[in-house]
Amino acid sequence: MRRTLAKNALGLCVLLCVHGCPTSVAGGESKAEAHKPASTQPALPQASRAKAEPQVLLMPPGRDSVAVRVEVARTEDERRRGLMFRKRMEQDAGMLFVFERPERLTFWMRNTYIPLDMVFIAASMRIQGVVENAEPLTDASRSVEGESQYVLEVNAGFSRRYGLSKGTAARFEGMPQADQGK
């Protein structure tokens, strides 16, 4: 009897917290979860505990948005190395090159084995232009007209598949605010 009363009281407490309390407390768990005995709390998936992975969200007009998980190259050395020597890249992945200020950017494919699309993004967070299917393993210069502050490299064919073109809006997620265009 005592065990049944304790179980019912705990259930009532959880029910009241779920319906009558604010939904979050420090540490990110709900109050309902905070009041559950430890043994009944579901384990959070690893991805939920980890910091949000950086991504670029591209929003072509008249189409669904597409998210690209990115490695971010901020320093001179990171940008110089880029995707060199890689043999493959997942379809929803890429590399975002971040520059301090807008300028006319030029890229090449030295020691880069993967055919890539290069998506040049202006400080306004709009695509300035796209270089499609850049041939691997060459020093040929690739650029677009105008100034860009960011370049997103993705697998060749990505831009065409998702309808990316000049003027397409972009947004960065899971990155420091300083990396966002103004």
Q: What digits encode the pLDDT tens for the residues 15-63?
A: 333 333 333 333 333 333 333 334 333 333 333 334 679 999 999 999 9
Percent of the residues in the chain that have a pLDDT greater than 70, as a whole number: 69
The residue whose two tokens read 């265009």 is: 181
pTM score over 0.85: no
pLDDT (mean) for 108-131 = 97
| Res 141 pLDDT > 80 | yes
CB 165 within 8 A of CB 99: no
Q: Which of 38, 30, 35, 42 is nearest to 12 (CA)?
A: 35
* Whole-angstrom distance, CA of residue 74 vs CA of residue 77: 8
Bridge-based pairing of strands 93-103 and 148-155 is antiparallel
Task: Pick 51-179's CATH classification: 2.60.120.1140, 3.40.1410.10, 2.40.70.10, 3.40.50.2000.
Answer: 2.60.120.1140
Domain ranges of the chain: 2-43, 51-179
